[in-house]
Amino acid sequence: MTDISTYMRQARSRRGGDPRQLAGRWTWAESRAWIDALSDHVGDWQGIPIPLGEDQPLVLAPGHPLREFFASIDQADMETVNIVAAEDVPDDEEIVNYWFCRVRNIGVYVARSKGRYYAVTVPVSPDRSMDRLTFWLQTLGCADAWDLKAEQRARDTLRAMLSDRQWMHYDLTGTFLETSPRSRITYMFRRLRPTIALTPRGRDGRETSMRCIAVLCMHPIGLYDRSWGGCMVPTDDVMAHLTMMRGDEAFLWRKANQHKPSSPEAGI
């Protein structure tokens, strides 16, 4: 098959330019249509992810055929989780590591300049509320990549997979529960949030009130960094979690990232 970049250059020429560079003349709906047409042309069953620009880096799943290609077209490093604005870093400096210190509530950046390393600390609110606000705002921005008709089709498909009560919960709250008959773990599936795994069993083996044992984050195609949004429409991501739990629960746990409930990524 011809390399995907060749098709993009051909399509760009036929349609009068790259939609990512024609913000003044293209709407997001037109850009999605352009990329959808390209996806149909090359026969890509999973669709081509919609790039939203360097403010919302696209992080494609390992093994995705376009992972390296998107990394080469104005995307931030796909392995970077914590983004530091370029204007905050001098040209001769480089951020090489980051972590959050929960004891002192500070973000710690390790930088390198002219072969020498040093650390910069940034105060963070104890409850990390501002990080959660960033995730909210970034997730709103992801809506430009999604098609309302595709979301409606996904909702229709999910409706047929759920009981009446589960669908009522999802339709009204964006959340529903299902208990695995194998592990007896109860999963809280959430639209635009990772799935929460719950159990009534305490660490001593006795049953008490429900407690969270893990927060499972998994986007089969990819996600937009520092957000809860994926490359697929929100309900498609929910269905991916549900079908994987029903079909191969152990694989879901292996495939998903596990976030601490207190972290902004967990969305709790």
What was the pLDDT predicted at 75?
42
- The whole model's pTM is what? 0.69
Quote the mean pLDDT of the chain: 79
The pair phi, psi for residue 252, each rounded to 5°, is -60, -45
Cα dihedral 230, 231, 233, 234, rounded to 10, equals: -10
* Residue percentage of the chain with pLDDT more than 70: 76
Q: Is 197 in contact with 187 (CB distance < 8 Å)?
A: yes
> What is the arithmetic mean of pLDDT over 21-44?
67
List of residues 6+ apart from 108 with CB closer than 8 A: 98, 99, 100, 101, 119, 120, 121, 122
- 232: nearest Cα among 162, 155, 150, 140: 150
> What is the arithmetic mean of pLDDT over 29-46?
71
- 224: nearest Cα among 97, 50, 24, 84: 50
What count of other Cβ atoms lies within 10 Å of the Cβ of residue 218? 20
Q: What is the pLDDT of residues 65-124, one digit of tens each?
A: 777 777 666 444 434 434 444 345 455 667 788 877 777 777 788 888 777 888 888 777
